[in-house]
Structure 1
């Protein structure tokens, strides 16, 4: 697996001082599109990006003109996972995932690039997720000495448990067809916009209150997982990221070598 496929953006990359927002907002016929726009960092989940995305979601949720939200990206990566240079606090990431699930508008993921680690959790939190066949996915946390603790909150209730065990334990890469088979994606196709066209058309035809109440019914089981497990998994994430194994894994990542545990 190449360095670009690991769980996080490289903290050795030069600092980027963004003159523009990290989230680009556009709107068409009641659909608010939020694009993760830090391609030079592979749209890694930094504290800044997580904060801006949370603000954009709040605005969309409160705007009566917005019928649905599309979450997408610029560049070739949807999200590389946690940004090791400017990581969000584990509880901030939990709050973001819960915000997507609780938003009174459907959130639709549109993916045309790679998704790794924490980015997979972001995808799993969305109500509907579609990707092009060029997209790839991996839960790479174990390869740098941590665990997919926080991202498991939306993943466990929504994906095939046997398949999830394989991909969480091995860090293997999977393609869009496999991601759809195990429930990580709703659908995949050669042209993701063609896949999503009838979805967005259907959401535009639905009554806003009916959408909100239907989403509440569909997300109840996921939110039960958050209520039960979020505190413990947040603590686990913080502990593992501070561990000697994580330090070795991240150092190996930066030094372009295998960590010491590889046999």
Structure 2
């Protein structure tokens, strides 16, 4: 596997929209310590910038995010990582900006937590999602705090217990994403939405988002410790380590 580039997440601001781009193709934008740290820093920068009203999270390639970095998880454990990903979801839900996600292609496992925590999620109809944790002896524990808040209970059971791929169109029907559009229309639709949100006043956005996300934030705060402990235990189990090692060996 080639070395990771110096920077894995880029940041740019234009017309009140801060665009944060996941750019770690060597591991399919997996949630490595470096990527999560850089994403955190850019989100905090946007949160503190009065000129920014909207934050768009996207990827440089078709893969939005492949979930946890299994190479790191299988060798160094996930105790710190689980808490950081919970904190990432909470930051997205509480920051005083409209957070929009755009995904053209694949979103897996932990990456779905970013989509679920966002205020508005727009997906290509042809994009694919999967809560693959169950296949590896894991559970969608830390991302359940946002993902299962968005999805209907029946959809959550279907996707989390099955671990199978579902489309952007299905993700919209399940409540996970706001809307799904044809891939050719994705950029234009997201640009339109971001421009519309950018017309809001800072105070109006902040207070409206606080009202909208009160239940989500309460859910994150109530379940954070339990889910972090569970996820850390599962990642450290013999069953999961064997499954992750086998998965990584198949990818080589």
Same fold (TM over 0.5): yes
1:173-201: CA deviation from partner (whole Å, max 9, x where unpaired): 00011000011110111121222233212
Matched, 1:16 2:19: no
Matched, 1:35 2:21: yes
Tell me the SS of whatever aligns to 1:185.
Answer: coil
1:60-83: CA deviation from partner (whole Å, max 9, x where unpaired): 000111111000001221000001
1:121-142: CA deviation from partner (whole Å, max 9, x where unpaired): 1110100000112311000001
Partner Cα separation in structure 2 for residue 231 and residue 185 of structure 1: 26
Partner Cα separation in structure 2 for residue 215 and residue 73 of structure 1: 24
- Normalized against structure 1, the TM-score is what? 0.89
Partner Cα separation in structure 2 for residue 17 and residue 137 of structure 1: 25
Matched, 1:61 2:47: yes
Partner in structure 2 of residue 237 of structure 1:
231
Q: Which moved more, 1:191-200 or 1:66-75?
A: 191-200
Displacement after TM superposition at 1:216 (Å): 0.4
Matched, 1:119 2:105: no
On the 8 A contact 1:145/1:248 being kept in 2, the answer is no
Q: Which moved more, 1:89-98 or 1:197-206?
A: 197-206
Which ranges in structure 1 are unaligned for 5 or more consecutive residues?
A: 1-13, 258-263
Partner in structure 1 of residue 59 of structure 2:
73
Partner Cα separation in structure 2 for residue 101 and residue 85 of structure 1: 28
Q: How many residues align?
A: 243
- Normalized against structure 2, the TM-score is what? 0.93
Displacement after TM superposition at 1:15 (Å): 5.0
Tell me the SS of whatever aligns to 1:35.
Answer: strand
Decide which structure has greater helix share: 2
Tell me the SS of whatever aligns to 1:78.
Answer: coil
Partner in structure 1 of residue 122 of structure 2:
130
On the 8 A contact 1:163/1:182 being kept in 2, the answer is yes
1:166-205 superposed matches below 5 A: 166-190=158-182, 191-205=185-199
On the 8 A contact 2:126/2:169 being kept in 1, the answer is no
Partner Cα separation in structure 2 for residue 209 and residue 111 of structure 1: 28
Which ranges in structure 2 are unaligned for 5 or more consecutive residues?
A: 74-79
The one of 222, 226, 235 equivalent to 2:220 is: 226
Displacement after TM superposition at 1:252 (Å): 2.1
Matched, 1:50 2:42: no
Partner Cα separation in structure 1 for residue 192 and residue 248 of structure 2: 43
On the 8 A contact 2:31/2:110 being kept in 1, the answer is yes
When the two chains are superposed, the root-mean-square deviation of aligned CA atoms in Å is 1.4
Partner Cα separation in structure 2 for residue 85 and residue 254 of structure 1: 7
